Structure 1
Amino acid sequence: MSDPSTAAYRLLTLIALSGECSPDVIPRLGIGPSYGEKLLTRLKEDNLIKTHYKDRLRGLRLTCDGKRMLLSENPERFSFYLNGSSDTNHPRSDYPRRLRLQQSSIVYAMLLNSGVRLFRDQKPLLFQEEYQCRHGEPIHMELPVFYHSREVKELGTETVKIGNSRIMGILFARDCIYALFYTGDAPMKWEYRTELRVKTFLSYHASRGFLSKGHASPCYQPDTPVKAVLIGSGMDTPLKLMESTGGFQKSCFYLDNSFDYFHYIPDDAAGETMLRLLCSPALQKALRDLLLSDLQAPCPDYGLEHDAVSDGLPVLLAFDFDMLRLSRFHTALSFHGLTGSLICFDFQKPVLQQYFGEAVAIDTIDLEKFEGRFLH
């Protein structure tokens, strides 16, 4: 059981990190339905996990024996999650908290499958007080690396103002910082001022705080973009997000200016590819250069944001699915009475066609061919 490469250990790890794991995570670990049933049966027989079912929500939790086993084998990795009165060690029974824990397990699986460092024994404990007081050599970070929202709160009183943020955590990539959110299949709860403070908090530390030159290696520059990534269920959800007006008293998500970028990725294998793409500036540049190689340069006379021109039409590269940029393009085309062109991945096309209607022609990138050429 102590072999980290086994399916059993990977599943136990995700349950430990999330507190309550969604059964939907099991296929993400490369476990087929038949073996998955046998694995769950064996882990229950060994008294390492148990099923918690309430309010029609089924989840997987560790038993006391399961916690003791993981703590004895790797306390550095698991003690943060399996000690004390935290939600991960003593999960609550109310539905909203349980749902958030299960959503965390989905995000963790995506991050791990995308090559993002997640475990506490594999990254600097960046938000702990002793790290802020260090002198001498900068803290070295192996990017990309992710810190859960509870890890961010280890910074103490400085994070009080962002305590009610809906972030799952912070993903540090080269040349960019991402605030990760999970929205499910509908616009999530949203508080503009709180999320704006998240961006301000990260921008401050990138410019002169513990992420800046002399403190971290690699370091961030003062103009490092802080972007939001919304992870949701499938590709029907982004249409709801882009068309949302915020609901009653603007309490739900809508496209505001708390962040300058709002990327959307689905919580599936395509989303994992998107994560790998968003975390790699070199990969994004290579794809952009390839797509733009047969197009003309942008035309300033159009009076709208675009990346190129093709057959007289303004072209927008939409493969990173920045909803804010897509919304601006949609509005500008309508205002100027123009038609345009989009280039996106094939799995993104249906929702973009529905959002833009007849205002755009859409060319697609075959996701499978992209993965074969750029990721293997």
Structure 2
Amino acid sequence: MSHKDTFPRQDTLGRYLLELAAVCGEFPSSLLPRIHDSSSYMEAVITSLKKEGLLRVFYKDRLRGFRLGRRAKGILLAENPERFSFYLTGDTDTNRIRSEVTRRMRLHRTAETYASMLNAGVAVFRDEKPPVFLLEAVPLPALKTPAFYGSREVKEMGIEMVKIRSSRMTGVLLAPSGIFLTYNSGPYMAKWDYRAEQRAQVLLRMVLCHQRMASQYARTEVSGLLFCNTLEPFYQILEEGDSHTRCFFLLDGNYEHFYYLTNDHYGDTLLKLLCDPVKTTELDNLLMQGFTPKDAGLPIEHDALDQNGNPVLFGYFLDIPRINRFHTALQLQGRKGILICFDFQKEVLHRFCGGQAEFSTISFEKFERRFFP
């Protein structure tokens, strides 16, 4: 039996793990439960890959991750160079992986983002999406399905992208619902370089909305998307809004929308919803039952009015600036409002604006069963 005969076939868990390790450089072991729900089967697959020399474990500074073996690199490159040569050739972080903890943590954050995207049905692999950021501009059709481009792919455009070198973004999500500059701070509070992130937003708007994808995104505002491991940083961002640690970049009008999702099944499902304007509209229409349409003249961020004329906000996407505008306006006008969210989001939202808002919750279990059976 040749070495090629022992290589995992397409559409198997073993092949999927190798491909993830290829595009991520190092795939953190902590992400394995998000890839497959059977720990015993996952362990058996990894053991087999390690035995064949296709996957190896790297452990240092209390970070444990999986990297491709040399033979796996060679076979993946030979079988699908279009998908893997960008990651497995040259002096890149995904090919010649450094051992410094900061570099490895950056790879791990990127891997978390890729896992979320793939679980939400977003195209990640280069042979499955249009080459939006190639140096040589090519005619591009409108995107009908969402696609994610990592920060290295964005920088393929060349010298102009030096302007966003200091940005902390992990990449850009392009979907029928919009453009989302994507960040992942894992278990930590994000640290923003105000000017670098502002430059990234302006440049991506120019490239995507006015140049390469103007036919689809000419009237689209660039939104933000922040992944974190828990909901606690979301509370801290809003609660510390008026302190010396104020998160200017998120709360001072740079973004109309900046969505907050968690690195787990909840986040994967909401990302799928965020990318699907048809399902989002369907959910909003369901939530409108019992309410009246919004009042365009009311100086409060809202989506509907209740029978007493109180503003109602659909807050289930945890849109940071939008929830902040809603809460601030209620405080300034001494009014009460209603905030609609998922059941797992209520506690953190109540801590922030429970004094100004009442809550109506959506059962996540029932929602998922209806919208994503």
The TM-score range, normalised by the shorter chain, is: over 0.9
What is the rounded CA distance, in whole Å, between the counterparts of 1:355 and 1:236 in structure 2? 11
Structure 1 residues 57 and 254, CA, compared in 2 at 3 Å: closer, same or farther?
same
Aligned equivalent of 2:155, options 144, 153, 163 = 153
| Residues 203 and 226 in structure 1, CA contact (< 8 A), matched pair in contact too | yes
- In the TM superposition, what is the alpha-carbon distance from 1:305 to its structure 2 partner? 1.6
What is the rounded CA distance, in whole Å, between the counterparts of 2:68 and 2:164 in structure 1? 30
TM-score normalized by structure 2? 0.92
Q: Does 1:335 align with 2:350?
A: no
What is the rounded CA distance, in whole Å, between the counterparts of 1:37 and 1:303 in structure 2? 56
Aligned partner of 2:217 in structure 1 is: 220
Letter of the 2:115 partner, please give it: A
Letter of the 1:26 partner, please give it: L
Aligned equivalent of 1:298, options 289, 294, 297 = 294
- In the TM superposition, what is the alpha-carbon distance from 1:117 to its structure 2 partner? 0.8
- In the TM superposition, what is the alpha-carbon distance from 1:373 to its structure 2 partner? 1.4
| Residues 238 and 324 in structure 2, CA contact (< 8 A), matched pair in contact too | yes
Aligned partner of 2:263 in structure 1 is: 267
Structure-to-structure mapping, 1:238-249, within 5 angstroms: 238-245=234-241
Q: Does 1:317 align with 2:314?
A: yes
Aligned partner of 2:207 in structure 1 is: 205
Aligned equivalent of 1:256, options 229, 252, 257 = 252
Q: Spell out, residue by residue over 1:289-343, the C-alpha distance to the aligned partner (whole angstroms, 9 max, x if none).
A: 1111210233467531211122422211101210101111111111111221111
C-alpha RMSD of the superposition: 2.1
Aligned partner of 1:216 in structure 2 is: none
Letter of the 2:83 partner, please give it: R
Structure 1 residues 37 and 247, CA, compared in 2 at 3 Å: closer, same or farther?
farther
What is the rounded CA distance, in whole Å, between the counterparts of 2:34 and 2:288 in structure 1? 34
Letter of the 2:313 partner, please give it: L
What is the rounded CA distance, in whole Å, between the counterparts of 2:231 and 2:140 in structure 1? 41
Aligned equivalent of 1:167, options 165, 169, 191 = 169
What is the rounded CA distance, in whole Å, between the counterparts of 1:247 and 1:17 in structure 2? 40
What is the rounded CA distance, in whole Å, between the counterparts of 2:290 and 2:332 in structure 1? 28
Letter of the 1:120 partner, please give it: R
Q: List alignment gaps of at least 5 residues for structure 1.
A: 214-218
| Residues 192 and 256 in structure 1, CA contact (< 8 A), matched pair in contact too | no
What is the SS of the residue equivalent to 1:179?
A: strand
Aligned partner of 1:281 in structure 2 is: 277
| Residues 130 and 140 in structure 2, CA contact (< 8 A), matched pair in contact too | no
What is the SS of the residue equivalent to 2:173?
A: strand
| Residues 245 and 254 in structure 1, CA contact (< 8 A), matched pair in contact too | no
Aligned equivalent of 1:71, options 77, 84, 90 = 77
Q: Spell out, residue by residue over 1:136-181, the C-alpha distance to the aligned partner (whole angstroms, 9 max, x if none).
A: x544544211111000100001111111111111111114100110
What is the SS of the residue equivalent to 1:3?
A: coil
What is the rounded CA distance, in whole Å, between the counterparts of 1:36 and 1:123 in structure 2? 28
Aligned partner of 2:4 in structure 1 is: none
Q: Spell out, residue by residue over 1:28-72, the C-alpha distance to the aligned partner (whole angstroms, 9 max, x if none).
A: 122412122222211111111111111111111112122112212
What is the SS of the residue equivalent to 2:102?
A: helix
What is the SS of the residue equivalent to 1:209?
A: helix
Aligned partner of 2:31 in structure 1 is: 25
What is the rounded CA distance, in whole Å, between the counterparts of 1:288 and 1:231 in structure 2? 23
Letter of the 2:92 partner, please give it: S
| Residues 124 and 140 in structure 1, CA contact (< 8 A), matched pair in contact too | no
Structure 1 residues 303 and 142, CA, compared in 2 at 3 Å: closer, same or farther?
closer
Letter of the 1:363 partner, please give it: S
Aligned equivalent of 2:198, options 196, 199, 204 = 196
The count of residues paired between Structure 1 and Structure 2 equals 366
TM-score normalized by structure 1? 0.92
Aligned partner of 1:178 in structure 2 is: 180
What is the rounded CA distance, in whole Å, between the counterparts of 2:305 and 2:249 in structure 1? 33
Q: Does 1:370 align with 2:372?
A: no
Aligned partner of 2:233 in structure 1 is: 237
| Residues 58 and 67 in structure 2, CA contact (< 8 A), matched pair in contact too | yes
What is the SS of the residue equivalent to 1:264?
A: strand
Q: List alignment gaps of at least 5 residues for structure 2.
A: 1-6
Relative to structure 2, which stretch is displaced further, 252-261 or 16-25? 252-261
Aligned partner of 1:352 in structure 2 is: 349
Q: Spell out, residue by residue over 1:236-260, the C-alpha distance to the aligned partner (whole angstroms, 9 max, x if none).
A: 2211222345997879965333322
Q: Percent identity?
A: 40
Structure 1 residues 209 and 374, CA, compared in 2 at 3 Å: closer, same or farther?
same
| Residues 246 and 252 in structure 1, CA contact (< 8 A), matched pair in contact too | no
Structure 1 residues 250 and 93, CA, compared in 2 at 3 Å: closer, same or farther?
farther
- In the TM superposition, what is the alpha-carbon distance from 1:196 to its structure 2 partner? 1.4
| Residues 143 and 174 in structure 1, CA contact (< 8 A), matched pair in contact too | yes
What is the rounded CA distance, in whole Å, between the counterparts of 1:252 and 1:44 in structure 2? 46
Q: Spell out, residue by residue over 1:257-312, the C-alpha distance to the aligned partner (whole angstroms, 9 max, x if none).
A: 33221100000011011111111111111111111121023346753121112242
- In the TM superposition, what is the alpha-carbon distance from 1:4 to its structure 2 partner? 2.8
Q: Spell out, residue by residue over 1:190-239, the C-alpha distance to the aligned partner (whole angstroms, 9 max, x if none).
A: 111111122211222344311113xxxxx222x20210000001222211
